[in-house]
Amino acid sequence: MGGFHNSDISRIRAAALLLTAMFTISIFPTNVANENSQSSSVRPEQLLVEIVETIPHDSDAYTQGLTFYNGRLFESTGLYGSSSLREVNPDDGNVSRIVALNESIFGEGIAFVGNEIIMLTWKNGTAFRFESETFDELTNYSYDGEGWGLCHDGNRLVMSDGSDKLIFRNESTFEIIESVNVTLNGTPRDKLNELECIDGLIFANVYHSDTIVAIDPGTGVVVMEIDASSLRPNDSSAEALNGIAWDEQNQELWVTGKKWPSMYRINLTTPPSTQVPDTNTPGIEVENTAEELSLSTVFLVILALSATGLFLHRLAQGAMNLKDGERDP
């Protein structure tokens, strides 16, 4: 058996260093990148709706805003010549009070600040402030762009304009405080419509869809995606799902849509999980997630690199022994 030269030993050591570098590059920068992009790559929880109660809803109401205040339900409607602000009986869906807006106004979302109602308009660039018991206009505010949805998080008003942006406004002056762009699986989620602030999250209808998203207001990341397609009426005159109202007093969630004949009290449920049967052990459910597969891959890489490193170490040690004049039997 021939001996090793210094150049052979150098090549072995270089190979070992190269493998180490490859491992470092493939693992650690990925982890750092994942940490930096964690908020933009959050996979939202997928949920379905379960109907708890159904009540009638005015099928002529082009619903734009829906909200509870102290157990009482309020609704705003749109369309030129049909826009209104109304109070609705949550027991039977009957309209108990209504005030029609000027025919030149296209009404949009509403939110309560104390016992006063703020109402947006679509393209009029005006937000109205009403007294809730009389529906008398107290004041109004001007803003740029379109108005779509509105909710109050306890300190600020949160406004949508049909884009992927949520705008936070002062509850007293309506001035802009800040804004956040909304992302779903790392990509912009636009067409955000009617809003409802619920327990630190912002729920939004996605216009022209049967989807409701729940958004983390701090990051703009969609953390829940709710499929409400099971609620869609068969009535061809019914338009988009729109209207989310959280009854904090009774801890109940209500939804409806534009010109829908019904309003629904719902629960949110998780869909049946997709199960992959284990053919070796019948009756045992096997769940493979991307995270588990990724960890398995890393584990296998570590094992392979450890074995390679051990082999190279022994090879290098043998080379050193041969260099010193030792020979295998």
The residue type found at 147 is: G
Report which secondary-structure segment, H or E, holds 194.
Answer: strand 192-198
Would you place residue 309 in the very low, low, confident or very high pLDDT band (cuts 50, 70, 90)?
low
State yes or no: pLDDT of 288 exceeds 60: no
Query: Residues 53-84: pLDDT tens digits?
Result: 999 999 999 999 999 999 999 999 999 999 99
**Residue pair 78/122 in contact by the 8 Å Cβ criterion:** yes
Amino acid 148 reads W
Find out if CATH 2.120.10.30 is the number for domain 45-269.
Answer: yes
Q: Which of 288, 292, 291 is nearest to 276 (CA)?
A: 288
Residue 273 pLDDT class (50, 70, 90 cuts): confident
Q: How far apart are CA 130 and CA 101, in angstroms?
A: 12
CB atoms within 10 A of CB 209: 15
- What pLDDT does residue 307 have? 56
Is the overall model pTM greater than 0.75, yes or no?
Answer: no
For CATH 2.120.10.30, list the domain ranges present in the chain: 45-269
Say yes or no to pLDDT of 314 above 80: no
Q: What's the mean pLDDT in 46-59?
A: 97
Phi and psi angles of residue 309, each rounded to the nearest 5 degrees, phi first:
-60, -40
Residue 167 has pLDDT above 70, yes or no: yes
Contacts of 112 (CB under 8 A, 6+ apart): 67, 69, 74, 118, 132, 152
The backbone torsions φ and ψ at residue 53, rounded to the nearest 5 degrees and listed phi first, read -155, 145
What rounded mean pLDDT belongs to the chain?
A: 82
User: Do residues 218 and 229 lie in contact, with contact meaning Cβ atoms separated by under 8 Å?
Assistant: no
Q: State how far the Cα of 210 lies from the Cα of 257, in Å rounded to an integer.
A: 10
pLDDT exceeds cutoff 70 at 18: no
Contact call for residues 79 and 60 (beta carbons, < 8 A): no
Residue in 106, 107, 126 with CA at minimum distance from that of residue 174: 126
Q: Please tell me which residue, 269 or 321, carries the higher pLDDT value.
A: 269
Q: pLDDT tens across 131-158, in order?
A: 999 999 999 999 999 999 999 999 999 9
Q: pLDDT tens digits for 71-122?
A: 999 999 999 999 999 999 999 999 999 999 999 999 999 999 999 999 999 9
Nearest to 202 by CA among 227, 174, 177, 180: 180
Q: What are phi and psi of 189, to 5 degrees?
A: -115, 100
pLDDT score at 88:
98
Q: What are the tens digits of pLDDT across the range 189-240?
A: 999 999 999 999 999 999 999 999 999 999 999 999 999 999 999 988 999 9
Q: What is the dihedral of CA 170, 175, 181, 184, to 10 degrees?
A: 50
Phi, psi of 47 (to 5 degrees): -130, 155
Retrieve residue 63's tokens.
């619903």
CB 127 within 8 Å of CB 144: no
Q: What beta strand segments (E) does 5-70 contain?
A: 45-56, 63-69
- The answer for residues whose C-beta is within 8 angstroms of residue 146's C-beta and 6 or more apart is 122, 123, 161, 162
Over residues 266-283, the mean pLDDT reads 64
